[in-house]
Amino acid sequence: MNDILPTGYRMPAESAPQERVWMAFPSPGYSLGDTEQARHEARSTWAAVAHAVADFEPVTVVVSPTERDTAARYLSAGIDIIEAPLNDAWMRDIGPTFVHASDGSVTAVDWVFNGWGGQDWARWDRDAEIGRVVAEAAGTPVLSSNLVNEGGGIQVDGEGTVLLTDTVQLDPGRNPGMTRHDVEAELARTIGATHAVWLPCGLTRDSQRFGTRGHVDIVAAITSPGRLLLHTQRDRSHPDSAVCARIRASLEGTHDAAGRSWEITEMPAPATLTDAEGYVDFSYINHLVVNGGVIACGFDDAHDRDAVAILTEQYPGRKVVTVDARPLFERGGGIHCITQQQPLARGGSSNGFR
């Protein structure tokens, strides 16, 4: 791959100071569930993540007008609510990606969202508008993109490096006919990515019918420049064992935007291998970094404690808090997938939440 010259925009690392975190509240549909028990489980889990984040920084939740009263019963009074029609509640993917402009202010990149590649079970007529809804509420300008992309499909280090997967940005259901160079050029324009590292695929379950076709945010995370945290399935009976080996091999000889070879730390997958639907894609990689903390996925699993220890080492000075993420993964994602951070403008000035 050829490095691309930077533009005036740059997506900061997730560990950069944040103004707030954005979420969406589950609306009737796939993620909410069909039974009262399933609906309560979804609402309770989304709320638990919101409350965990709110211990560190402000949280704003987009709520469908029909769900306003219900959301108020699950969310504490300290969490801001704005109303907008929703199809689903995966804010990382339906919301904007926030970047710094050259003057240090914050701009919202509005990707095209088409239901993870136009999947037949997805509905996205309302979710496709959420990027602009959030940008307007946040008081930020909008940088429009014609790239079909989701926030879960990119990982950055804040210095120009971006991690991608061939099966997402080059998905014919998302960006037919686009090449790696085309994608890299657009990511340079919008998020200031000057150096792309392409992974071949995502995890097995995420590549099946109800998955995203390979989001990177359950596979790998850049925890600081030059340091890469990599999902590792060590049980050879799980198909992700071979997938993880393939991904690790693809990283051989690669480097970040500054030319540093990766210092790779393996993050063991949870010991749990299956659920009622088959092999799971449970992953501790799908965590959210916040001001002074890390909101981590828990699975009531033998490896939860090890994951907390690794995350504590990778993010020194931050408190690691876990939330049971099994109800999220059962619905197709994790904690990172339902959240989107808004960085603080450089210089410490707020964009002014409306």
Residues 6 or more apart in contact with residue 191 via CB below 8 angstroms = 9, 10, 11, 97, 99, 109, 154, 156, 162
Q: Give dist(CA 307, CA 290) in Å, integer.
A: 17
pLDDT of residue 29: 86
Q: Confidence class of residue 1 from pLDDT cuts 50, 70 and 90?
A: very low
Residue 108: pLDDT above 70? yes
- pLDDT one-digit tens code per residue, 14-41: 999 999 999 999 999 889 999 999 999 9
Give the DSSP per-residue string, 9-25. -BPPPTTS-EEEEEEE-
Catalytic residue selected from 201, 244, 297, 337: 337
Comparing 155-159, 232-236, 345-349, which segment has the lowest mean pLDDT?
A: 345-349
Count other C-beta atoms under 10 Å from residue 256's C-beta: 21
Query: CA–CA distance from 325 to each of 4, 42, 49, 174, 204 (Å)?
Result: 37, 10, 9, 28, 18
Query: CA–CA distance from 165 to each of 135, 218, 317 (Å)?
Result: 26, 12, 31
- pLDDT one-digit tens code per residue, 257-271: 999 999 999 999 999
Q: Confidence class of residue 242 from pLDDT cuts 50, 70 and 90?
A: very high
Residues 6 or more apart in contact with residue 20 via CB below 8 angstroms = 57, 58, 59, 60, 138, 341, 342, 353
Q: pTM of the predicted model, to two decimals?
A: 0.96
Q: Confidence class of residue 347 from pLDDT cuts 50, 70 and 90?
A: confident
Residue 6: pLDDT above 70? no
The domain 18-343 is placed in CATH, from the list 3.60.15.10, 2.60.40.730, 3.20.20.20, 3.75.10.10, at 3.75.10.10
State the DSSP H helix or E strand holding residue 309, giving kind and residue range, or none if neither: helix 304-314
Strand partners, 197: 163
- State both tokens at 25: 């509240």
State the DSSP H helix or E strand holding residue 239, giving kind and residue range, or none if neither: none
Strand partners, 21: 59, 341
**Mean pLDDT over each residue of the chain, to the nearest integer:** 96
pLDDT of residue 138: 98
- pLDDT one-digit tens code per residue, 197-209: 999 999 999 999 9
Return the domain boundaries, the chain: 18-343
Establish whether 337 is a catalytic residue. yes
- pLDDT one-digit tens code per residue, 292-339: 999 999 999 999 999 999 999 999 999 999 999 999 999 999 999 999
167 dihedral zone (left: phi>0; alpha: psi -120 to 50; beta): alpha
Longest dimension (CA), the chain: 53
Query: How large is the C-alpha radius of gyration of the chain?
Result: 19
